[in-house]
Amino acid sequence: MVVVRAAVLPSVGSPLEIAGIELPEPGPGQVRVRLAAAGVCHSDLSLSDGTMRVPVPAVLGHEGAGTVVAVGEGVTRVAPGDGVVLNWAPSCGACHHCGLGEVWLCADALSGVGRVYAITEDGTELHPGLNVAAFAEETVVAADCVLPVPDGVPLTDAALLGCAVLTGYGAVHHSARVRQGESVVVFGAGGVGLAALQAARIAGAGPVVAVDVSAEKEPLARAAGATDFLVASGTTAKEIRKLTGGHGADVAVECVGRAATIRTAWDSTRRGGRTTVVGIGGKEQQVTFNALEIFHWGRTLSGCVYGNSDPARDLPVLAEHVRAGRLDLSALVTDRITLDGIPSAFDNMLAGKGGRALIVF
């Protein structure tokens, strides 16, 4: 057993508790990783408040990178000393969706969340959040939950590849399939939204409009590639049409997960345009359309899971963008914190402040 510090969610809606937990040595097919960094994602907040459900008590955190310190029997893909990115949604390769090549919809991707992976010092059994339990100094995961850190990507920055960048980049390149010269509007300039803005710039889109409730996000959004910035209001859709020749954006990417924002994203898209919803909202967030407008506008509205990404395929592509200077991972981070800073990071997300908070170990 190894004792490490972790952020434990005792029950849904409870405050996180920073405590020592006992990790076993990795069993067959498992890997123990010492975390270098972990990002605080809005999905972690959604898990803590019950918007998304996982077994509890649990250690949350699903966006991380670190160094392999031990491997279990039968593990050959990585070895102690290797830098790895955590992959919270590994594909099984055998289900219906994997057979279709849609690995981001794998039916068994979250099959590991129900296992007991550690215990508290008083013997309480703990579950691994979204498979990987990155809000801890170390974690034990299945070997298919790690991927090698690509050459040329700093280990701490690599944590962001595990969710924010794969999701934001994938939403633009895989789901919306943005083409050079198309106009793009991104709703929400948090970690995922900033990654989507960088991806739109990489795709050669223009204009690229960022929308957020906070005017303080404008410098972050423009640094990521936004040519225009709007503070969200009741006239947002009209303002976007003015910025796009009166037509509306070719593509809208919604990174908030609220019914009103999804509806505004739809209204901001031109006739025949594409609206991609990345944000995760609750069941109470009902979005309504009438039958005539669906016919008349001819728009496409689509959900987007994990950026419709295949991490094994996409990480090398993202790494090449990083090495070439096209993708700036550190620009997504506005706060570098310790485990004790996670509650404040949650508060900032609720208040619409900052980009990505990164736990640095």
pLDDT digits (tens, 9 = 90+) for 318-349: 999 999 999 999 999 999 999 999 999 999 98
Number of CB atoms found within 10 A of residue 115's CB = 13
How much is the pTM? 0.94
- Region 166-186: mean pLDDT is 97
pLDDT at 231 over 90: yes
Distance CA 183, CA 269 (A): 9
Please give the DSSP secondary-structure letter assigned to residue 92.
-
Whether the Cβ atoms of residue 342 and residue 359 lie closer than 8 Å to each other: yes
Please report which confidence band the pLDDT of residue 306 belongs to, taking 50, 70 and 90 as the band edges.
very high
- Amino acid identity at 217: K
Please report which confidence band the pLDDT of residue 210 belongs to, taking 50, 70 and 90 as the band edges.
very high
Question: What b/e sequence results for 202-224 when a residue is b if at least 16 CB atoms lie within 10 Å of its CB, and e otherwise?
Answer: bbebebbbbbbbeeebbebbbeb
What are the pLDDT digits (tens) for 249-290? Answer: 999 999 999 999 999 999 999 999 999 999 988 889 999 999
pLDDT on residue 126: 96
Per DSSP, the residues of 103-145 read: GGG-TTTTGGGGS--EEETT--EEB-TTTT--SBSEEEEEGGG
pLDDT on residue 227: 98
Is 156 in a helix, a strand, or coil? helix
Please report which confidence band the pLDDT of residue 1 belongs to, taking 50, 70 and 90 as the band edges.
confident
